């Protein structure tokens, strides 16, 4: 059978499908519809003009790349002459029956019937042999006889796979690559949200330049397929390991790099994923998948302009996700409103709009996190502001492109550092605050607001350092003046107020100490040091109700602090004394007292204050579970007397108190029973004890 007949009975159609998910690697979708023809249409790169293979721009001088490439697979023995390797472009021997007729169409002579159709000629070149017009080969697989050839492969040998090339040149109907595929009969692997074939969409390099290791011709496809399986199972680390191998085997493949980006996104390594998408686009500017994935990443980083650009480019190749584009519009809208609210000082609206933008996808945006943190800072929600700044600092985006957006004239990158400086200043981290402010000034040296804020932060840090030195030297009056100087530049700094309150305490000016603690607690309501100093000042002023209230808050915040527990107890005793109540037998702390007689129980429950009597049995399972909690509650409430009655060892006491079920609890206050509980939950027990404690009277 002639070479022309062999060509006419083989056809292949490569299905390239890019319609898949945004952040998921690509699954199998299409397969070769026909393995009969070695010539298949090749999708050209955007903007490239289609070049017909049946004509030449110069008469008898230009070689046809399609013909040369086909000849590479047909010379010297037909289809079986090569071992499956890919053949680079060049001037291989002309296959039997091929001729070039000047500027006319490509001619297939059908073998020996055409003059000069020997098997050793070149591709085109100087041949001037002509052929009847009826032998002109149309675009379909039509034999010289006019009949459509069958798609049956040559019976004497197994058909080898044919893979379309990268499309870097005009190859007529397609670039024919012999043996370019991996396992699976040479068919290009189908696609899903990750690229099952590492060659799809890569125009920058031919599969011939991505050789697999020796002895393992299909390893690239196998590695990609294994990575896809791990990705589908949610094992992104394993998927990334396989995609790394695929990139090492074919570093110029945009699909391999896009798959790697998908695994990095799954692992939360967004900055690396963004750089990988950028690299994929550099290798193949027409990769719709890489553009779509990069757009989604830019949206997460709050880079709305870049996100819009890549969404548009992805849309040109039908890869844009309308839902993602709508989220981009929502982020833009909320970001604009947030900036407007900041200008007017409407911090509640600014916080609400920043949260909405983050919820719509910009969860890793430095700018939005900084806006949110500043709004929280102005609303005196310092803990949340600090938490937001901490999450901002953990973002791995130092190597990403800077933000060109401006807020009140400040470059966005500079604004981020300004907010970081102000939050750190509020928490007394003055050295870090100065460093962040200096970074802001380097980024935006000409901005007057940045210069003013940086100068103020430096002066506040200097005043605080000077005040600390004076306080250590025992010069409390001078130290209070130094802290006051710092407050001129930062009027709402809780650390400076609390430090000055300490100076007033040392000077015995308790009301001044209370006033400064109040100012500090307005800015930071949970400021422990300010609460401690105010409680101590209240004690000196004998404002026992206020003192007890502060110590109760501190007791919840510091449950294991024995000094706070003891201070609370003494404040409670002082409050009871001030009210004229009996306090003779009140004691601080101690363990749960074991009761062995009715007389001992009567004496205990008639003592001043609150007594909790716990009736239990050593072998009872519920008692075994609740006993450790009672011991802990005894430490938490040092002003309450806790007593324990073992009903098995002291049945007379249990009968006198009419106790039939354990665990049971009875609470007495000043000798009168106020509550009885049978098998209570831990929550109910804790609440009841605290409710009837001395401080509640």
pLDDT-based confidence at residue 511 (cuts at 50, 70, 90): very high
For 74-103, what is the mean pLDDT? Answer: 39
Evaluated on CA atoms 522, 526, 527, 528, the torsion sign reads positive
Q: Which two tokens stand for residue 666?
A: 């009875």
Residue 401 has pLDDT above 80, yes or no: no
Same CATH fold assignment for domains 209-323 and 492-578: yes
Residue 515 has pLDDT above 70, yes or no: yes
Whether the CB-CB separation of 490 and 499 falls below 8 Å is answered with no
For 91-106, what is the mean pLDDT? Answer: 42
Rounded distance between C-alpha atoms, residue 358 and residue 355, angstroms: 5
Residue 31 has pLDDT above 60, yes or no: no
Rg value, the chain, Cα:
41
pLDDT higher at 576 or 227: 227
The pLDDT assigned to 138 comes to: 45
Pairing label, strands 610-616, 641-646? parallel
pLDDT-based confidence at residue 404 (cuts at 50, 70, 90): low
For 213-236, what is the mean pLDDT? Answer: 79
Whether the CB-CB separation of 510 and 518 falls below 8 Å is answered with no
- The secondary structure of residue 123, as a DSSP letter, is S
Q: Which two tokens stand for residue 693?
A: 């404690």
Cβ atoms within 10 Å, residue 697:
14
Q: Which fold has domain 492-578?
A: 1.25.40
Pairing label, strands 176-178, 106-108? unpaired
Cβ atoms within 10 Å, residue 394:
8
The percentage of residues in the chain with a pLDDT greater than 90, rounded to a whole number, is 44
Rounded distance between C-alpha atoms, residue 609 and residue 134, angstroms: 118
646: β partners: 616
Going from N- to C-terminal start, the domains of the chain cover 1-193, 209-323, 492-578, 593-696
pTM passes above 0.75: no
Q: How far apart are the first and last CA of the chain?
A: 110
273-328 pLDDT, tens digit per residue, is: 999 999 999 999 988 889 989 999 999 988 888 898 998 888 776 666 788 888 89
pLDDT-based confidence at residue 584 (cuts at 50, 70, 90): low
pLDDT-based confidence at residue 373 (cuts at 50, 70, 90): very high
pLDDT-based confidence at residue 198 (cuts at 50, 70, 90): low
Whether the CB-CB separation of 544 and 567 falls below 8 Å is answered with no
The pLDDT assigned to 590 comes to: 62
The pLDDT assigned to 576 comes to: 83
Residue 464 has pLDDT above 50, yes or no: yes
For 333-346, what is the mean pLDDT? Answer: 93
For 650-664, what is the mean pLDDT? Answer: 93
3-state secondary structure 497-528: HHHHHHHHHHCCCHHHHHHHHHHHHHHCCCCH
For 463-468, what is the mean pLDDT? Answer: 95
3-class secondary-structure state, position 139: coil
pLDDT higher at 187 or 270: 270
The pLDDT assigned to 432 comes to: 94
The pLDDT assigned to 647 comes to: 94
The pLDDT assigned to 565 comes to: 83
Q: Which two tokens stand for residue 694?
A: 């001395």
pLDDT-based confidence at residue 108 (cuts at 50, 70, 90): very low
Residue 77 has pLDDT above 60, yes or no: no
Rounded distance between C-alpha atoms, residue 121 and residue 243, angstroms: 44
612: β partners: 642, 667
Phi, psi of 425 (to 5 degrees): -65, -40
The pLDDT assigned to 342 comes to: 92
pLDDT-based confidence at residue 167 (cuts at 50, 70, 90): very low
- The secondary structure of residue 142, as a DSSP letter, is B
643: closest CA among 564, 580, 567, 590? Answer: 590
Place of tokens 């007394």: 428
The residue length of the chain stands at 697
Q: Any residues with CB less than 8 A from the CB of 562 and at least 6 apart, and which?
A: 589
3-state secondary structure 568-622: HHHHHHHHHHHCCCCCCCCCCCCCCEECCCHHHHHHHHCCCCEEEEEEECCCCHH
Whether the CB-CB separation of 131 and 113 falls below 8 Å is answered with no
Q: Which two tokens stand for residue 293?
A: 């994935």
Q: What's the CATH code, domain 593-696?
A: 3.40.30.10
Cβ atoms within 10 Å, residue 551:
26
The pLDDT assigned to 669 comes to: 86
Across the chain, what does the average pLDDT equal?
74
Whether the CB-CB separation of 151 and 11 falls below 8 Å is answered with yes
Residue 566 has pLDDT above 50, yes or no: yes
For 37-59, what is the mean pLDDT? Answer: 39
For 637-661, what is the mean pLDDT? Answer: 90
Residue 113 has pLDDT above 60, yes or no: no
Residue 79 has pLDDT above 80, yes or no: no
Residue 623 has pLDDT above 50, yes or no: yes
178: β partners: 162
**What architecture does CATH give domain 209-323?**
Alpha Horseshoe (1.25)
Whether the CB-CB separation of 478 and 470 falls below 8 Å is answered with yes
Question: Residue-wise over 622-635: b if at least 16 C-beta within 10 A, else e?
Answer: ebeebbeebeebbb
Rounded distance between C-alpha atoms, residue 554 and residue 548, angstroms: 10
Q: Is 177 exposed, middle or buried (0-12, 13-18, 19+ CB in 10 A)?
A: buried
Place of tokens 């989220």: 327
Rounded distance between C-alpha atoms, residue 608 and residue 581, angstroms: 8
């Amino acid at each position: 059978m002639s070479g022309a007949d062999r060509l006419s009975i083989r056809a292949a159609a490569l299905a390239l499908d890019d319609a898949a998910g945004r952040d998921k690697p690509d699954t199998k979708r299409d397969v070769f519809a026909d393995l009969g023809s070695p010539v298949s249409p090749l999708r050209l790169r955007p903007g490239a003009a289609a070049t017909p293979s049946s004509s030449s721009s110069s008469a008898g001088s230009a070689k046809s790349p399609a013909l040369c490439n086909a000849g590479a697979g047909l010379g010297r023995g037909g289809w079986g002459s090569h071992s499956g390797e890919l053949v680079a472009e060049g001037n291989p021997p002309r296959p039997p029956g091929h001729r070039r007729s000047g500027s006319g169409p490509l001619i297939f002579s059908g073998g020996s019937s055409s003059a000069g159709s020997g098997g050793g000629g070149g591709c085109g070149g100087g041949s001037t042999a002509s052929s009847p017009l009826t032998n002109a080969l149309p675009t379909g697989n039509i034999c010289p006889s006019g009949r459509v050839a069958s798609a049956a492969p040559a019976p004497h040998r197994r058909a080898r796979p044919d893979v379309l090339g990268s499309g870097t040149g005009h190859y007529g109907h397609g670039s024919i690559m012999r043996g370019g595929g991996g396992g699976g009969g040479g068919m290009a692997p189908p696609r899903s949200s990750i690229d099952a074939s590492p060659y799809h969409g890569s125009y920058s390099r031919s599969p011939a330049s991505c050789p697999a290791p020796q002895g393992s011709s299909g390893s690239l496809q196998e590695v990609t397929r294994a990575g896809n399986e791990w990705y589908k199972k949610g094992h992104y680390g394993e998927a990334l390991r396989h995609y790394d191998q695929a990139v090492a085997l074919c570093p110029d493949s945009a699909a391999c790099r896009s798959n790697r980006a998908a695994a990095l996104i799954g692992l939360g390594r967004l900055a690396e994923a963004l750089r990988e998408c950028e690299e994929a686009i550099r290798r193949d500017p027409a990769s719709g998948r890489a553009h779509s994935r990069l757009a989604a990443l830019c949206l997460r980083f709050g880079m709305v302009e870049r996100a819009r650009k890549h969404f548009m480019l992805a849309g040109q190749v039908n890869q844009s996700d309308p839902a993602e584009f709508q989220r981009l519009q929502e982020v833009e809208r909320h970001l604009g409103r947030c900036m407007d609210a900041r200008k007017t000082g409407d911090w509640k609206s600014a916080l609400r709009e920043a949260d909405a933008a983050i919820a719509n996808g910009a969860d890793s945006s430095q700018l939005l996190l900084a806006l949110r943190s500043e709004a929280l800072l102005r609303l005196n929600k310092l803990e949340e502001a600090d938490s937001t700044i901490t999450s901002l600092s953990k973002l791995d985006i130092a190597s990403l492109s800077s933000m060109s957006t401006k807020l009140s004239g400040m470059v966005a990158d500079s604004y981020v550092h300004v907010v970081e400086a102000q939050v750190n200043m509020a928490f007394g981290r003055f050295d870090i605050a100065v460093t962040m402010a200096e970074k802001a000034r380097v980024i935006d040296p000409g901005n007057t607001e940045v210069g003013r804020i940086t100068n103020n932060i430096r002066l506040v840090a200097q005043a605080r350092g000077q005040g600390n030195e004076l306080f250590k030297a025992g010069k409390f009056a001078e130290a209070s003046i130094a802290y006051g100087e710092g407050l001129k530049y930062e009027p709402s700094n809780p650390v400076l107020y609390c430090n000055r309150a300490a100076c007033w305490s040392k000077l015995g000016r308790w009301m001044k100490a209370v006033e400064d603690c109040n100012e500090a607690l307005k800015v930071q309501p949970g400021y422990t040091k300010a609460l401690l100093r105010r409680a101590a000042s209240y004690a000196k002023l004998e404002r026992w109700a206020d003192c007890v209230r502060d110590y109760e808050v501190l007791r919840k915040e510091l449950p294991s602090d024995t000094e706070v527990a003891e201070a609370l107890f003494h404040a409670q005793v002082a409050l009871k004394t001030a009210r004229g109540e009996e306090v003779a037998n009140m004691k601080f702390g101690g363990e749960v007292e074991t009761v062995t007689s009715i007389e001992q129980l009567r004496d205990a429950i008639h003592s001043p204050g609150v007594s909790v009597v716990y009736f239990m049995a050593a072998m009872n399972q519920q008692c075994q579970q609740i006993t450790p909690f009672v011991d802990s509650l005894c430490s938490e409430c040092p002003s309450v007397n806790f007593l324990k009655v073992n009903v098995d060892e002291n049945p007379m006491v249990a009968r006198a108190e009419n106790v039939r079920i354990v665990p049971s609890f009875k609470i007495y206050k000043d000798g009168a029973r106020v509550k009885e509980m049978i098998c209570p939950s831990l929550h109910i027990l804790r609440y009841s004890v605290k409710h009837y404690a001395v401080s509640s009277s």
